[in-house]
Homo-oligomer: A and B are copies of this chain.
């Protein structure tokens, strides 16, 4: 099946919104083996949307639209799609019930008759419930093409997609698609590609490399008649990749480095505390983004000033002066002291120059302390590197050190 995604919204063409809906839909369709050949973005303009729909009808089996469903845009998308496929709009009973219910359950919202516009659907539609908002989606099947209309707000779009659209599309196809993502740190994209190039020529499973903010990833994807067959096809390739990439691999199918670290802390029943200077709380923030982090992350300090390093960690100002605030010694001491202060098994200390001004921008020291041990990694991230990237890389390196320590690798 070949799909085309049409996003409707002037805000996308003005650049005030980024088109994450098209990304979310593409990702979900790729997972179930539906090819996407085009994304098109049009404004809230009936003529251009019509042009776009006619073209899509000739080249795709599946059209998914996002946006243009609410009352603020006069339900543009439903109007145009109804006209393009020669269907009238009618008040759908199920949709009406959905909309009335939505308002009835919310004491702070007042139902007005014009809200019923949202329950007007093109003839022959199936309504798609909106679990996060008031505008239902809908879908219908024409002789040649399936049409699915989703709301524009990302949370509404993505929830409807995952809860209703993907299950529906999945049962249409007899084929099963499965994939695994191998995630790595500490190796560059081109070095990874060189090591895996021969594997990338295969067609089932396929092997595709990605990179993002210093991390490298490889996705292995197989198509077959059953899930088990997919796994059988992938197993030898995955084994080969893990064998070649070795300790650079921090996880398969895990969401992020912080997720992997938290999982290791749980497995080993180890607790963590962090003292951050140039990263200003980013490590703590990323770890505590994961529900349940409090069981193993005891807390952290953002010691952005030298005064705070003394007040919160009891580091002697003289020690800072002698060694320099950005130094191997101070990173190590921060790690040791935060470990002690918060009574945790591991302590991390990060100090560095995040820029944008200064000669040493990009120099960061990351310390990791355990009982009787302390390791410090020196990073040179380049003095043209933007502040945000330096902070992200510093935190990634701290997570990598924890992961390596907990899995018995050299830190």
**A residues neighboring B (CB under 8 Å):** 11-20, 22-30, 36-43, 45, 48, 155, 208, 210, 219, 273-274, 276, 278-285, 287-289, 291, 293-294, 297-305, 307-308, 311-312, 341-343, 354-357, 386-388, 391
Contact status B37-A14, CB under 8 Å: no
Contact status A12-B27, CB under 8 Å: no
- Name the one of B279, B284, B343 contacting A280, with C-beta atoms under 8 angstroms: B284
Rounded to whole angstroms, the CA-CA distance of A357 and B295 in the bound complex is 14
Q: Identify whether the interface residues of A are mostly helix, strand, loop, or mixed.
A: mixed
Question: A20 — which chain B residues lie within 8 A by C-beta?
Answer: 18
User: Can you list the 10 inter-chain pairs with the closest CB atoms, starting with the nearest?
Assistant: A280-B288, A15-B27, A281-B281, A15-B26, A299-B308, A281-B284, A39-B41, A300-B302, A284-B302, A281-B285
What are 15 inter-chain pairs, A to B, with CB distance below 8 A? A13-B37, A14-B208, A15-B22, A15-B26, A16-B210, A278-B288, A288-B304, A289-B391, A294-B304, A294-B305, A298-B307, A298-B308, A300-B301, A301-B312, A311-B343
Contact status A307-B342, CB under 8 Å: yes
Contact status B16-A19, CB under 8 Å: no
Question: A18 — which chain B residues lie within 8 A by C-beta?
Answer: 18-20, 23
Contact status A13-B42, CB under 8 Å: no
Question: A24 — which chain B residues lie within 8 A by C-beta?
Answer: 15
Question: A23 — which chain B residues lie within 8 A by C-beta?
Answer: 12, 15, 17-19
Contact status A41-B42, CB under 8 Å: no
Name the CB-closest residue of B to A189. B72
Instruction: Give the Cβ gap from A180 to chain B, nearest Cβ, in Å.
Output: 14
Instruction: Give the Cβ gap from A166 to chain B, nearest Cβ, in Å.
Output: 13
Rounded to whole angstroms, the CA-CA distance of A282 and B281 in the bound complex is 7
Known: A15-B25, A291-B357. 6 other contacts (CB 8 A): A12-B23, A13-B37, A13-B39, A280-B281, A281-B284, A293-B304
Contact status A299-B304, CB under 8 Å: yes
- Name the one of B17, B312, B343 contacting A307, with C-beta atoms under 8 angstroms: B343
Given contact pairs A15-B24, A301-B299, A301-B312, A280 touches B285 in the complex (Cβ within 8 A): yes
Instruction: Give the Cβ gap from A47 to chain B, nearest Cβ, in Å.
Output: 11
- Name the one of B43, B45, B341 contacting A312, with C-beta atoms under 8 angstroms: B341
Instruction: Give the Cβ gap from A337 to chain B, nearest Cβ, in Å.
Output: 12
Rounded to whole angstroms, the CA-CA distance of A15 and B26 in the bound complex is 5
